[in-house]
Amino acid sequence: MPVFTVKPRFYPIRLIARIRSSSELTLEVKNNSSELVWLECDLTVPETFSLAPDRELRHGRMRAGIMAAGESAECKCKVYGSPFTEPGLHKLKITAYGYGKDGSISAREEKEAEIRCERLKA
């Protein structure tokens, strides 16, 4: 059994292609171990996306904090599309790190989340 689980979801579930639009990414994390864990997630978005509304930002970090055994938490951030974002499925890379009591990484999990980008229908 993994030390923790990470479940990504988007709202709204799709972005509009070729214009500035945004979607909120929510990461639901759960500590499955019997010990305290400090949890952080690194996020990498594709080239035509950003984590900031007014500039390019492809890498970010979300901190869930200290989680007791069996505890869950949610982290939220916005993902922004640009005028260069094409229609289709785009993959975001999520790497979650769990730190133990001694401050070293005790577990690591990599996930990919897909976000759909569609043309605006007239």
- What is the domain-level CATH number for residue 15? 2.60.40.10
Domain annotation covers residue 122: no
- The set of residues, in sequence order, having a beta carbon less than 8 Å from that of 107 and lying 6+ positions away, is 2, 3, 4, 33, 37, 97, 98
| Res. 1 pLDDT band, cuts 50 70 90 | low
Q: Write down the pTM of the prediction.
A: 0.92
Domain annotation covers residue 81: yes
Domain annotation covers residue 8: yes
Range of the domain at 13: 4-117
Check whether 120 has a pLDDT greater than 90.
no
Number of structural domains the chain divides into: 1
| Res. 2 pLDDT band, cuts 50 70 90 | confident
Domain annotation covers residue 10: yes
Predicted confidence (pLDDT) per residue in 4-43, tens digit: 999 999 999 999 999 999 999 999 999 999 999 999 999 9
